[in-house]
Amino acid sequence: MRAVRDAVGDRIAIIAKMNMDDGVPGGFWLDEAIPVAQWLEADGLAATLEMTAGSSLLNPMYLFKGDAPLKEFADVMPQPIKLGVKLVGKRKLKAYPYTDAYLLEDSRQIRAAVKLPMILLGGITTKSVMDLAMDEGFEFVAMARALLREPDLINRIQKDASTPSLCNHCNKCMPTNFTGTRCVLVQRSTTRTATRGKPEGYAS
C-alpha cells in the first residue's frame, strides 16, 4: 500500500478490495476480515474499501451467485482440462442462489467497524438496490455483469429510476474471459461493439 501511494501521490484514490469470506473450509472469514479492514483504515493509505467474497480457484462460483455454466466452461477449455470440467465440474462449480445485494449482510459488519468510505459489491442492478446501499451507509456501489449485458444501464437508470436490468445472472459471461469478455446474450455487430438487441444463443 505504501509503495502504491508513493508511486501515485495524491493524484488518484486507492481502493482496497478485500475478501470477507473465502467460501472454503478453513478459509478467511469475517472474524479476520474486520480487523484487517481496521488495519487498512489505521494505515491511512486507502481512500475506500470494497468488500468481496469467494476464491476464484477453490470455489469460483461463490462470489458470483446464480447459475454455474458448466457446458460453456468446458467448451472453451483445452484437453485434458475440458474432460476434467465435464467429470468433476459439478463439484467444483457449485451454483449458489442469486439475490439482489447478496453481499450486503456481511458487508454491514465491516461498515459498522470502520469509518472509511465503502463500496458495496454483489447484485447491484437497479436504482432501488443502489438506494438501499446508500441507506445502509455505503458511499458507492460496484457493478460488473449488469454492465456487460447493458453498457448504457447507468445512463438509462439516470433517466428513468424504474429501469430494470436485463442481466439474468446466467454467468455465461464468465467463460468468455478466455475469448473476449462479453455478455453472450447480446448480439454483436461486425465491429465487435456490443449492441442491445434480441438475445442470441451461446455459440460454442
Per-residue model confidence (pLDDT) at position 197: 40
Per-residue model confidence (pLDDT) at position 195: 40
Task: Say if residue 200's pLDDT is above 60.
Answer: no
Task: Say if residue 139's pLDDT is above 50.
Answer: yes
Range 79-93 average pLDDT:
86
Contacts of 92 (CB under 8 A, 6+ apart): 59, 60, 85
Domains of the chain: 2-167 (3.20.20.70)
pTM for this structure?
0.85
**pLDDT tens for residues 16-65?**
999 999 999 999 999 999 999 999 999 999 999 999 999 777 888 899 99
Which of 163, 148, 157, 158 is CA-nearest to residue 194? 148
Range 175-197 average pLDDT:
72
Per-residue model confidence (pLDDT) at position 189: 56
**pLDDT tens for residues 143-184?**
999 999 999 999 999 999 999 999 999 999 999 998 899 999
Query: CA 100: distance to chain centroid?
Result: 12
Per-residue model confidence (pLDDT) at position 90: 84
Contacts of 172 (CB under 8 A, 6+ apart): 67, 69, 72, 183, 184, 185, 202
Give percent above pLDDT 90 in the chain. Answer: 75
